[in-house]
Amino acid sequence: MLDIKFVRENPEIVKENIKKKFQDEKLPLVDQVIELDAKNRAAMTEANELRAARNSLSKKVGMLMGQAKKDPSKLAEAEEAKAQVKANADRLAELEALEVQLAADIRKIMLVIPNIIDPSVPIGPDDTHNVEVQRFGEPVVPDYEIPYHTQIMESFDGVDMDAAGSVSGAGFYYLMGDIARLHEAVLAYARDFMINKGFTFCVPPFMIHGNVVEGVMSQTDMEAMMYKIEGEDLYLIGTSEHSMIGKFIDQIIPEDSLPQTLTSYSPCFRKEKGSHGIEERGVYRIHQFEKQEMIVVCRPEDSMDWYEKMWRFSVELFRSMDIPVRQLECCSGDLADLKVKSCDIEAWSPRQKKYFEVCSCSNLGDAQARRLKMRVKGERGTYLPHTLNNTVVAPPRMLIALLENNLQADGSVKVPEVLWPYMGGTKVLTPKH
């Protein structure tokens, strides 16, 4: 969310940014919110003037009433002053109610005006205009067939989609045996990988209040992603960065405690509305999965350095498991409204002979901090921090990349060396059939 003062003073910059994000339908909102802001400031000014006059007018009434006891001719003047006090009080009540309504109207609009994107973001209407920046590792297509990922898992008796469908419906799964163990090994390795990078491990709440949801994501994303607990002001998290950033709501953070670097484990729950292609079935796009996440809360001048570090952590992690990846810069039209800059890390799929998304790294500037009323107090005063997030690993999708890139011609799967300690020393998974 932008600062209303910035919008007021730079309407053309805000409009140009909206155009770059191909959201022209939002252009009228800029003039609307500036008009509402002008009315709100006028109401506040008048209300403050009435409050300032209240004491002196009340003293005048008291003085005139005292004089009227000796001089009845003063009574009419005293009554007139009392009537003015009453009229002022009524007007002040109207103005205070108007301020509340105008503030709510302004916030509603400000929540949907997109954040100012970084100048380095490529301009384009949708994800087809995202730009490949660089590749890490050599993508290989073996001379033997790579089955669909659920077929690989089934050869180890490692997945049961049918039973999960009976228990929970489409979009759920049972992971079993070696595949379930590999899933947990990846999570444990990712946890320790981030701890070794200096991040503090965190297991956050898996449900959050509506005001936290509003603080960390756009309304559109909220409706498309979040499951709400019926009858309660609670939502199941779609990703743990939401509850981790929410940890700092309404807080004043000492500057000398920055940066705050957290890595968290959590289950994640998503509606995932809409139909998806064959490549997004199985355990690729599901309603429930587990994830290791990272977030950073830092000084504004440090956020771009952290952005670079964070996506490179993802590359290092995947390359340590012999999985080729590439960095893809997200274009303006593919950025969520709160994001200043974002990139995806995509893993190589030898079966599809293309890359697919496994991580998403984002710099959100001070948008979340402003919504959540997070502040930093330091030598230069009080200011808003910047927030960033990035996927460490989301194992169901990560498992696809791991299994495909480590599948051997005989159907066995090599366990990457970094996972051996988490797999009880197992180096190769042998299919059961």
Contacts of 126 (CB under 8 A, 6+ apart): 331, 333, 334
Average of per-residue pLDDT across 20-27: 97
Residue in 201, 189, 204 with CA at minimum distance from that of residue 317: 189
pLDDT of residue 232: 95
Task: Please state, in angstroms and rounded to a whole number, the distance separating the CA atoms of residues 19 and 25.
Answer: 9
| b/e sequence 227-252, b meaning 16+ C-beta within 10 Å | beeeeeebbbbbbbbbbbbbbbbeee
The answer to whether residue 76 scores a pLDDT higher than 70 is no
276 or 163, higher pLDDT? 163
Task: Please state, in angstroms and rounded to a whole number, the distance separating the CA atoms of residues 412 and 271.
Answer: 34
Residue in 91, 319, 357 with CA at minimum distance from that of residue 193: 319
pLDDT of residue 216: 94
pLDDT of residue 278: 54
The answer to whether residue 353 scores a pLDDT higher than 70 is yes
Average of per-residue pLDDT across 24-32: 98
pLDDT of residue 222: 73
Task: Please state, in angstroms and rounded to a whole number, the distance separating the CA atoms of residues 316 and 325.
Answer: 10
218 or 245, higher pLDDT? 245
The answer to whether residue 61 scores a pLDDT higher than 60 is no
Q: CA 284, 323, 341: angle at the middle one, nearest 5? A: 70
3-state helix, strand, coil split of the chain in percent (to 5) is 50, 20, 30
Q: Which amino acid belongs to residue 117?
A: I
DSSP state of 401: H
Residue in 284, 302, 278 with CA at minimum distance from that of residue 363: 302
3-state secondary structure of 260: strand
Residue 10 tokens read as 């730079």
Relative orientation angle of helices 395-406 and 177-196, to the nearest 10 degrees = 110
pLDDT of residue 277: 53
Q: CA 247, 306, 261: angle at the middle one, nearest 5? A: 30
Average of per-residue pLDDT across 294-311: 98
**Domain boundaries 4-110, CATH class:** mainly alpha
Tell me the sheet residues that pair with 269.
Answer: 288
Contacts of 418 (CB under 8 A, 6+ apart): 189, 320, 321
Instruction: Classify residue 128 as exposed, middle or buried by CB count within 10 Å of its CB (0-12, 13-18, 19+).
Output: exposed
Q: pLDDT tens digit string along 243-271?
A: 999 999 999 999 999 999 999 999 999 98
DSSP string, 212-234: HHHHHS-HHHHHHHPEEPTTSS-
Percent of the chain scoring above 90 in pLDDT: 82
Q: Which amino acid belongs to residue 217?
A: M
Where in the chain are the domains? 4-110, 127-429
DSSP state of 419: G
Task: Please state, in angstroms and rounded to a whole number, the distance separating the CA atoms of residues 318 and 148.
Answer: 21
Q: pLDDT tens digit string along 405-421?
A: 999 999 999 999 999 99
The answer to whether residue 314 scores a pLDDT higher than 80 is yes
CATH, range 127-429? 3.30.930.10
192 or 274, higher pLDDT? 192
pLDDT of residue 283: 84
